[in-house]
Amino acid sequence: MKKNYLNYLRDGKALSFHQQILLTLQLSFPAILAQLTSVVMQYIDASMVGHLGANASASIGLMTSTTWLFGGLILAINAGFTVQISQSIGAKKEREARSILKHGFCAVLIAGFIFALLGALISPFLPIWLGGSPEICSKASQYFFIYIISMPIIILAQYAGSSLQASGNMRVPSIVNILICFLDVVFNWFFIFLLNLGVIGAAIGTVLAEFVGAVILLYILLFKSKMLRLQPKERFSFNQIYFTRAFKIGSPVAFEQIIMGSAYVLLTRIVAPLGSIAVAAHSFAITAESFCYMPGYGIESASMTIVGQTVGANRKDLAKRLGWLSIILAMIIMAGSGLFLYFGSPFMMKLLTSDTHIQQLGIKVLQLEAFAEPMYAASIVASGVFRGAGDTFIPSMMSFISMWAVRLTLAYIMAPIYGLFGIWLAMFIELNFRGIIFLIRMFSGKWLQKKV
């Protein structure tokens, strides 16, 4: 029977180095598998749209940065509550964790409806603001509108999954995420090709897959979770302190996600004048690269849970060691996936599009980006470690400086000279810079001085 080393943490038991490695691997691998499966499904998804032509690909690619921006805000709201849940469970205060969970549901539902309304209002104008060409703006607007009005469903699904992860259950959210990806492909095939809805069909398929995932995750969280399921005798009692803590944790994350998301939007604005080929190549290259960095995000999810519960159990020295183990594991895995990206980029681009011009441009930028993956891994997982400890303000400032002072400045300068390659060269430099400054903060140990 597999041992639950999170119980060792909560009970104050000693963990050998071997057991620390096993704990990190046990929580990381389900999330890594889910992320990799997600990428495979995205490949298939993008390939479906890619075969509709460059304009169809560009219409979705144009909106990607904006959907990331809204996704980042969801992450911030989730973090505000799930970090508290994780630390409460680590301190063996499960009733408090369930109360925090309920307060979080109120917050994410309100946010979901606000995002949906705001997004619906700007959807007719957004592609024009982003610099999209006339031939892609109409489809891009329709795609974004369908996606954004489903925001309450999307935010509920992500909050439920994040809450389960905060409790230490990485397996179920990972399995459901794999199911969502599979359903996304099935629904997209049905709506894109069978009903001949094209780009609009891609949006509908994604929304339906998210809806199924939300229902499953909410059922498991509220009725099956050992620690977080509803208890009939526990009535909801409003407590302002949970919202105050959530704001303290989540607002720096929201700021980080806004500045990162808006930077991606501005980057899209820099790419857009280069033409549909460049926009499509940029979008496909991001999809292809995600095969490399998604394992990092899987480990980041695990590190938030591990560090959050360890800090909650007041075992800060162990939290630091486990944080480093998570970072080193991610750097090793993403160094290997970077090599795969370098040599496999021709095959990956051929899977995504049949347009040879898009393929050639995508291969060129991907082979450059392959060498940034280890440092990218360091920044991704260190961010999860810091959030688990409740340290969000300084890392958000670091991300702001890295993204705006380094990436966007260099991209703006180099795009007119080197085209899309210049933009990705700016990304390459910035990812390495960000990894270095995050490792410096990790070494300092100051992130452990925060208190939720």
Average pLDDT over residues 97-106: 96
pLDDT tens readout for residues 181-204: 889 889 988 998 888 888 888 889
pLDDT attached to residue 255: 87
Distance between CA atoms of 228 and 98, rounded to whole angstroms? 5
Higher pLDDT, 257 or 450: 257
440 exposure class (CB count in 10 Å sphere: 0-12, 13-18, 19+)? exposed
Distance between CA atoms of 417 and 268, rounded to whole angstroms? 17
Express as a percent the part of the chain with pLDDT over 70: 96
Average pLDDT over residues 216-240: 92
pLDDT attached to residue 140: 87
Average pLDDT over residues 211-234: 93
- As given in the structure block, the two tokens for residue 183 are 């359903």
pLDDT attached to residue 452: 59
Confidence of residue 1 (pLDDT cuts 50, 70, 90): very low
pLDDT at 3 over 80: no
What value does the mean pLDDT of the chain take? 88
pLDDT tens readout for residues 340-358: 999 999 998 988 788 889 9
Task: Please state the pTM of the whole predicted model.
Answer: 0.81
pLDDT attached to residue 85: 95
| HSE of 159, CA atoms in CB hemisphere, 13 A | 29
pLDDT at 275 over 70: yes
Q: Give, in order, the Cα–Cα distances in Å from 429 to each of 297, 368, 386.
A: 20, 10, 23
* Placement of tokens 């620390």 in the chain: 20
pLDDT at 272 over 90: no
pLDDT tens readout for residues 289-314: 887 888 888 899 889 899 999 999 88
- As given in the structure block, the two tokens for residue 24 are 């990190």
Contacts of 431 (CB under 8 A, 6+ apart): 369, 372, 375, 376, 379
* Helix or strand (DSSP H, E) at 366: helix 356-369
pLDDT at 130 over 70: yes
pLDDT tens readout for residues 353-395: 888 899 999 999 999 999 999 999 999 999 999 999 989 899 9
Higher pLDDT, 128 or 59: 128
Distance between CA atoms of 235 and 362, rounded to whole angstroms? 55
Q: Give, in order, the Cα–Cα distances in Å from 427 to each of 53, 340, 376, 414.
A: 27, 19, 10, 11
pLDDT attached to residue 451: 60
